[in-house]
């Protein structure tokens, strides 16, 4: 199973953009992720096709489990 932290932001054109982090710590807390998202906003180093990232939307952990049925 693989886990990904997805931090979703809104850009200048009002569209969502996602910054994903593979294999995040298992004991992450909402306050830690929110603070990290604030740092991303403050640093203003990412530019999307819709302009600068301007606000936080949400953060979520996505678990993915792959079951191979057959391999050739």
Span 51-67, pLDDT tens digits:
999 999 999 999 999 89
Which pLDDT belongs to residue 47? Answer: 85
51-64, strands of its sheet edge to edge: 16-22, 2-11, 51-64, 47-48
DSSP-derived letter for residue 50 is T
pLDDT in tens, 6-52: 999 999 999 999 999 999 999 999 999 999 999 999 999 988 999 99
The residue among 1 and 15 whose pLDDT is bigger is 15
Residues 55 and 43: their CA atoms lie apart, in Å, by: 12
By CB atoms closer than 10 A (0-12, 13-18, 19+), residue 56 is: middle
Residue 51 region, left (φ>0) first, then alpha (ψ -120 to 50), else beta? left
* pLDDT score of 1 more than 80: no
């Amino acid at each position: 199973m693989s886990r990904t932290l997805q931090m979703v932001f809104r850009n200048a054109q009002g569209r969502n953009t996602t910054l994903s982090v593979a294999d995040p710590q298992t004991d992450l807390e909402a306050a830690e992720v929110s603070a990290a998202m604030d740092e991303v906003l403050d640093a203003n180093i990412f530019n999307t096709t819709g302009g600068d990232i301007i606000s936080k939307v949400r953060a979520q952990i996505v678990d993915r489990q792959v079951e191979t049925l057959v391999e050739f």
